[in-house]
Amino acid sequence: MRKQLRYIIAAVIVIVGVVTIIAMQGSSKKVGTTTTTTAKSTVAIAPLTGLPDPSGTALKRPALVIKVEDDTNALPQWGIDQADVVYEEIINGGIPRLAAIFNQNAPARVGPIRSVRPTDTQIVFPIGGLFAYSGGAPYAIASISTAPVKQIDESSAGAAMFRDSSRYAPYNLFGSAAALFALGGGTPVPPTPLFQYRPLGQSAVGVAVSKFVVNFPSIYPMTWTWNVATKSWDRSTQFAGPDYTANHVRESPKNVIVNYVNYVNGVGAFTSYANLQSGGVAEVFTDGKEIVGTWARHSQSSPIQYLDAKGKTIRLTPGQTWVELLNNGAPVTVTH
């Protein structure tokens, strides 16, 4: 019934949503706020988190996307808790992999870094910047070469990437986000915002949720539990339990978006990729609530727009956001 309801809602509002998006694209100036002005001072706002950035660093550099492994061999990971945005995609064999986007923060160690996949081209087009990865198959490199990014692989990274002798290959490659930024290049500066945010302290309007499970294939379902104390979503994996980084930080973003997509060429195939150029159903989890709506992208270089059942933009809590690229038809189990 829940699955049917999602698609009924999507069918009713997708036309309204697309028309609204087109109108927004045609009539508005650049989406997102870069500064907040008060009577006393002007505080910079980081474009990819919506959080205050007193140093203004986020406005002075591009986005940096780092590909990170997310299977059982990758744990514990480094630096994911400091990413502005994290996309979780399905690659060959049904294994999840992360595209972690950094702008506001630049941790000294991120990884393990792995190879590029065609879905990454779909993800990075709206933000450009730098794209760091270990390498990849010819078809995947050909795909990312069409995107407006500066590519940095292991052979070109120099000291910005390094091997950890305490781990075995290919799960032992790491990178310094600060050193990768220092290599220079990448546009635009700052990156285009991917989401719109509510003012700090403003509540979301939706249905209260205590937990939900994103059913990725095989042993990779991801459970997200609302943490009342931190006002964020604690992440757990079926294969490893509660998700902690190597620095013992619980992975717990402010927002989780389940973005239903069609995986072209089939889920888990070597050449498959998530089609992010169309539209469909989205479930947005923010402020302890669920908002069921739709998503659509006006053009390849424009950010995805997330709309509620009334065709209005869904605004997120300022902070880190995870986007789960779940294949159409897979269930999300929600506990209220």
* Whether 210 contacts 336, CB under 8 Å: yes
Task: Find, among 38, 96, 75, 5, the residue nearest to 247 by Cα.
Answer: 75
Per-residue pLDDT of the chain (336 residues; tens, 9 = 90+): 444 445 444 444 444 444 444 444 443 334 444 544 444 568 899 999 999 999 999 999 999 999 999 998 999 999 999 999 999 999 999 999 999 999 999 999 999 999 999 999 999 999 999 999 999 999 999 999 999 999 999 999 999 999 999 999 999 999 999 999 999 999 999 999 999 999 988 999 999 999 999 999 999 999 999 999 999 999 999 988 999 999 999 999 999 999 999 999 999 898 999 999 989 999 999 999 999 999 999 899 999 999 999 999 999 999 999 999 999 999 999 999
- The model's pTM is 0.90
Chain center to CA of 68: 12
Residue 163's alpha-carbon distances to 27, 109, 154, 171, 172, in angstroms, are 49, 11, 10, 9, 5
* Whether 191 contacts 47, CB under 8 Å: yes
* Whether 63 contacts 46, CB under 8 Å: no
Burial class (CB in 10 A: 0-12, 13-18, 19+), 92: middle
Neighbours of 48 (CB within 10 A): 24
- pLDDT tens for each residue of 87-106: 999 999 999 999 999 999 99
Structure tokens at 60: 């002075």
Nearest-angstrom CA–CA distance, 154 and 8: 46
* DSSP annotation of 111: B
Whether omega for the bond prior to residue 112 falls within 30 degrees of 0, making it cis, is yes
Structure tokens at 156: 């070109």
Domains and CATH numbers, the chain: 1-25+45-336 (3.50.90.10)
Place of tokens 């292991």: 154
Task: State the virtual CA torsion across 85, 275, 270, 195 in degrees, nearest 10.
Answer: 0
- pLDDT tens for each residue of 110-127: 999 999 999 999 999 999
